[in-house]
Every structure is written in structure tokens, then in C-alpha cells.
Amino acid sequence: MFKFAALAALVSIIPLINAQSPIYGQCGGINWTGPKTCVAGTTCTYLNDYYSQCLPGSSSTPASSTKPPVSSTTAKPVSSSTKPVSTSTMPGGSPTTSSAPASTPTVAAGNPFSGYTIQINPVYQAEVVAALPAISDAATKASAAKVENIPTFFWLDAVARIPTLDTYMAAAAAAGGKRLVQIVIYDLPNRDCHAKASNGEFTIANNGAALYKTAYIDAIVAIIKKYPSVRVVAVIEPDSLANLVTNLSDPNCAAAQSVYLSSVTYAMQQLTTVGVVQYLDAGHAGWLGWPANLTPAAQLFASLYQSAGKPAGVRGLATNVANYNALVAASPDPITQGNPNYDEIHYINALSPALQASGFPDHFIVDQSRSGQQNLRQQWGDWCNIKGAGFGTRPTLNTGSALIDSIVWVKPGGESDGTSNTSAARYDSTCSLPDATVPAPEAGTWFQAFFQTLVTAANPPL
Ligand SMILES: *[C@@H]1O[C@H](CO)[C@@H](O)[C@H](O)[C@H]1NC(C)=O
Ligand SMILES: *[C@@H]1O[C@H](CO)[C@@H](O)[C@H](O)[C@H]1NC(C)=O
Ligand SMILES: *[C@@H]1O[C@H](CO)[C@@H](O)[C@H](O)[C@H]1NC(C)=O
């Protein structure tokens, strides 16, 4: 499924007052008609065929990771020419292994969120700030403004986003005190093997397994190592392991299986060397929460964890990432019929004993960013820009369950799940179902109307 945290086409929805895009603004992509240059101090950086963005830094970025704004009308989701090979920040391609320097933080024991202030994700904050002028209703605008200070995760869904992690971490370090940065690791080769169109930048056929390690994980680790005072919490690879539990009948998933496992193993081990607290993605109640899937899921997580040498950074699992389920539903949504685990708390309570039996740490974080309203979907599997969705419970350590470390907002609400344009190359029919909000823009780009509904339907209200 599409759940890109790709960034937004902000300037397309506000009147252009000058010819340059602001920091984190769009500056290129197929059919982009806005400004193609960026304000001083930022560089227009190619992220994918649909999106180039003004990222901090001057144009000293290696040419291999920067492409001019795309004006071609060829909408190929993945092209080998777009593969960034940004190795300049890495020590000769040889990853850090067993001997971490003394300054490297050890992985925190206990709830990693306890006592820490979450540094606001600057990219999402910029998106929300840019969305405000287009909101005419004053009360809605005031509510929307509050969203800019709610912590969301920063999705590292392309190598080109890695320099922004440096900016984000530097701000956290400069703020001082106990600061926490939240990231999503999301760039596996042949990513999203069960989706109708793959949108990852790495393919197994094009050396993706090696590039995932050297150009992606090693580059992230090198940045995190620079800021030992900042704690990092990561969600690891949404959908990938759940797809290996339920979707191996899909040849794309079967073909990706061994590379998914070796890549996630590498990520767990290397992120542990720099103290990153990790939650592997575990789908949601309507996926791995079906009783028949619980034990196979626990066994997959546990075998991966054990064969990786039980990396100390692995704290548990993340559920409901970019989905719409309630943590605690007031009553079962009719679409969940047949599954006793009809909400995330039932799923977590049912999975926990299976994890303990298999030998995997049973701590959780749960995404509630778009779970404010319930009983909206026609089928549980529907995931695209659900009509009437509202922002949900704010991130909190007051979770009501000893198994849950924190309620979090992993999905940056307002970024589209996928386009409803039937002629677009990445069209997925899920995005024009009767319960999807239409017309919807390309996955990852800003969806102003959807954002405004999230604001007005927020529960609890903003
Ligand atoms: C871009 O615009 C052209 C002309 O309208 C159209 O043919 C093409 O399909 C568009 N591409 C995308 C990805 O929307
Ligand atoms: C594949 O995964 C999807 C979730 O993306 C799930 O709804 C579906 O049932 C799975 N397919 C099979 C055959 O298990
Ligand atoms: C839908 O996509 C087609 C093909 O990419 C494009 O030509 C058209 O302009 C798009 N329509 C809208 C409303 O964006």
C-alpha cells in the first residue's frame, strides 16, 4: 500500500509571491508548474519523478544524488537512473561494525520516551504552516495551527532525504536537554512488494541490497553518530515483514523475502551501534491481528531478531502505522466482524503472549494520527485517504497499557496516500473507492482538503 511520507506540494496551494520555493517546498516533478528554484541556503533536490524539494544546504551535494527538476511526462515510478549513490559521507563503504566508539550511546533500557522532549519534525511543521493561508474559516485555521507543534515521525523514504535528518538532529542537539528525534526507516529494495506499483528507489535487480546498506543505512548511522546527546526512536520498514507473513503467495513478495530479511537484519544491527531504539512495523489489527496470523507473525519477528543476535536497540513493535484503527474502539466496527481483535489494544494483547513464547520483546508504540473517527470504512483493508477521517489521540505516554510505551503520530496527516486519477501511472483503485476522498493528488504530496477534514474531524478536538 502507498504510505509515503513524501513531502508536500505546498506552494501549489498558496498564491506565489515570488519565484522561489521556500525551504522544504516543492521545486520540481512531473507536471510541476510552480517555481523551480529555491530560496538561498537550500538546494532543489530530486526525490522522485513526481517530487523535487528545497532541502537545506548549498549545491555542493554530490551530483549523483541530485537531479534537475523532472519535466518529462514519462511517469516511471522507479528508474535506475534515479538511484542516488551518495557515498561521500561514508567511510569508504565499510560499515561500522562491532567496535563502536566510546561516545556512542548505549541503547536505553525501559521506555525510551520517558523523560524526553520530542523534537518537532521540521518538514511536517513547514507543511502545516504553508497550509494555513488557504484555510478561510478562522476557527479551523486556529485549530490547524496547533498541528504544527504535534510531533510526527520523519520518513526517510529516499536517500535524498538523509541530509535533512542532519538538520533535524542538529536542531535537537542545539535545543539541549533530553531531546528525542523520531524517524521511519523506509527504503527497502523492491519496497512495498504487495502494492500495485512499487515506488522504492532501490531494486534487487539493480544492486539494491548493497545500496540499501551503504547508501542508505550507513549514511543514516553516520549522521546519528554525530549527535550522541540526541535519542533516536525508529519505526522499521512499514509493511515489509507483515507482507512476509501473509503475502508470500504474491510472487513479488516471495522474490523479495530473503533481501527483506537480510536488509532488516542489517538495519537493526547498525542502528543499534548508535543507540537507536527500534520498533519493527507489525501491520495492524485487521492484518496480523487475525487469530491465524498471530503465531506466524510472532515467529517471524522472533526468528529474525534471534538470528540477528538480539540487537539491543530492538524494543518491540509499531502498529497501525498510517492506518485508521482505534486503539480502543467504543464498539467493534461492523467491518471487523469475525476478528475478535477488532482494535489495536485487542491485537496487542493477543500478540503479546505469542511474542513472549517466541522470544521477542513485547513493547509497542501505536499510531493514532488519523484514528480520531471510526466506522468510516466499507472494508477493513481500505487505506486510501479515508473519507471523514480526523486526527486522533495526541502522542502521549498515558497509554492505558503497560505493553504500550507511547501513542504516537507516525503518519504526517495531510500527505496523500495515493492519487485517485485513473490515468496516472501510480493509480491504485483503492484510492477511488466510495470511502476514499477524491480527487486525491499523488502519493506523498500535500492534500489540502483532506488535511482540513482531519482538522475539523479531530477527536479529541484540537
Ligand atoms: C502531465 O501532463 C500531461 C499533459 O497534460 C499528461 O499527458 C501527463 O499524463 C501528465 N503526467 C502526470 C503524471 O500526471
Ligand atoms: C496481503 O496483504 C494485505 C495487506 O496489504 C492483506 O489485506 C491481504 O489479505 C494479504 N493477502 C494475502 C493473500 O494474505
Ligand atoms: C490525470 O492523469 C492524466 C495522465 O497522467 C493527466 O493527463 C491528467 O491531467 C490528470 N488529471 C488530473 C485532474 O490531474
DSSP state letters, 217-283? IHHHHHHHHT-TTSEEEEEE-TTHHHHHHH-TTSHHHHHHHHHHHHHHHHHHHHHHHTT-EEEEE--
Ramachandran angles phi, psi of 117, nearest 5°: -100, 130
Whole-angstrom distance, CA of residue 141 vs CA of residue 205: 47
pLDDT at 384 over 50: yes
362 counts as catalytic: no
User: Which pLDDT score is estimated for 58?
Assistant: 67
Element (H, E) at 304: helix 291-307
Ligand 2 in reach of 249 Cβ (< 6 A)? yes
pLDDT at 62 over 90: no
Whole-angstrom distance, CA of residue 333 vs CA of residue 428: 25
pLDDT at 304 over 60: yes
Closest C-alpha residue for ligand 2 atom 5: 1
pLDDT at 83 over 60: no
pLDDT at 63 over 70: no
User: Which pLDDT score is estimated for 51?
Assistant: 75
* Residue of 166, 192, 239, 281 marked active site: 239
> What is the mean predicted confidence (pLDDT) over 202-210?
93
User: Which pLDDT score is estimated for 41?
Assistant: 85
Ligand 2 in reach of 360 Cβ (< 6 A)? no
Q: 16-20, 235-239, 396-400, 402-406: lowest mean pLDDT where?
A: 16-20
Ligand 2 in reach of 381 Cβ (< 6 A)? yes
Whole-angstrom distance, CA of residue 155 vs CA of residue 166: 13
pLDDT in tens, 315-338: 999 999 999 999 999 999 999 999
Whole-angstrom distance, CA of residue 194 vs CA of residue 240: 9
Whole-angstrom distance, CA of residue 123 vs CA of residue 415: 12
Percent of the chain at pLDDT exceeding 70: 85
User: Which pLDDT score is estimated for 32?
Assistant: 81
Going by DSSP bridges, is the β-strand pair 179-185/117-118 parallel, antiparallel, or unpaired?
A: parallel
> What is the mean predicted confidence (pLDDT) over 166-174?
96
Percent of the chain at pLDDT exceeding 90: 72
* Residue of 166, 333, 367, 417 marked active site: 417
Confirm whether residue 121 is marked as ligand binding: no
Q: What is the mean pLDDT of the chain?
A: 85
Ligand 3: lining residues by beta carbon, under 6 Å: 421, 423-424
User: Which pLDDT score is estimated for 5?
Assistant: 38
Confidence class for position 8, pLDDT limits 50, 70, 90: very low
CB of 12 within 8 A of CB of 26?
yes
Confirm whether residue 323 is marked as ligand binding: yes
Going by DSSP bridges, is the β-strand pair 154-156/117-118 parallel, antiparallel, or unpaired?
A: unpaired
Positive or negative, the CA dihedral 407, 410, 416, 417 is negative
pLDDT at 98 over 50: no
User: Which pLDDT score is estimated for 306?
Assistant: 95
Q: Among 12, 30, 31, 49, which residue has the most ligand 1 atoms within 8 Å of its CB, making it the best to mutate?
A: 31
User: Which pLDDT score is estimated for 158?
Assistant: 92
pLDDT at 350 over 60: yes
> What is the mean predicted confidence (pLDDT) over 217-232?
97
Complete domains list, the chain, with CATH = 20-56 (no CATH), 117-457 (3.20.20.40)
Confidence class for position 59, pLDDT limits 50, 70, 90: low
Q: Could you count the other beta carbons within 10 Å of the beta carbon of residue 385?
A: 30
User: Which pLDDT score is estimated for 25?
Assistant: 77
Which atom of ligand 1 is found nearest the CA of 75? 13
Ligand 2 in reach of 1 Cβ (< 6 A)? yes
DSSP state of 367: E
CB of 249 within 8 A of CB of 299?
no
User: Which pLDDT score is estimated for 47?
Assistant: 75
> What is the mean predicted confidence (pLDDT) over 199-222?
93
Ligand 2 in reach of 318 Cβ (< 6 A)? no
Which atom of ligand 1 is found nearest the CA of 31? 1
What is the separation of C-alpha 362 from the centre of its chain, rounded to a whole number of angstroms? 21
User: Which pLDDT score is estimated for 170?
Assistant: 97
User: Which pLDDT score is estimated for 206?
Assistant: 92
- What length is written for the chain? 462
Beta-carbon contacts of residue 102 (< 8 Å; ≥ 6 apart): none
User: Which pLDDT score is estimated for 48?
Assistant: 72
Beta-carbon contacts of residue 74 (< 8 Å; ≥ 6 apart): 49
Going by C-alpha positions, the residue among 333, 337, 410, 424 that lies closest to residue 368 is 410
pLDDT at 215 over 60: yes
pLDDT at 31 over 60: yes
Confidence class for position 77, pLDDT limits 50, 70, 90: very low
Question: CA end-to-end span of the chain, whole Å?
Answer: 29
The Å distance, Cα 381 to ligand 1 centre, comes to: 30
Which atom of ligand 1 is found nearest the CA of 50? 13
Residue bearing the bigger pLDDT, 280 or 82: 280
Closest C-alpha residue for ligand 3 atom 11: 421
Which atom of ligand 2 is found nearest the CA of 242? 2
pLDDT in tens, 103-131: 456 777 899 999 999 999 999 999 999 99
435 counts as catalytic: no
pTM of the model: 0.80
User: Which pLDDT score is estimated for 2?
Assistant: 41
Going by C-alpha positions, the residue among 330, 442, 451 that lies closest to residue 391 is 451
> What is the mean predicted confidence (pLDDT) over 160-179?
96
pLDDT at 69 over 50: no
Ligand 1: lining residues by beta carbon, under 6 Å: 30-31, 73, 75, 424
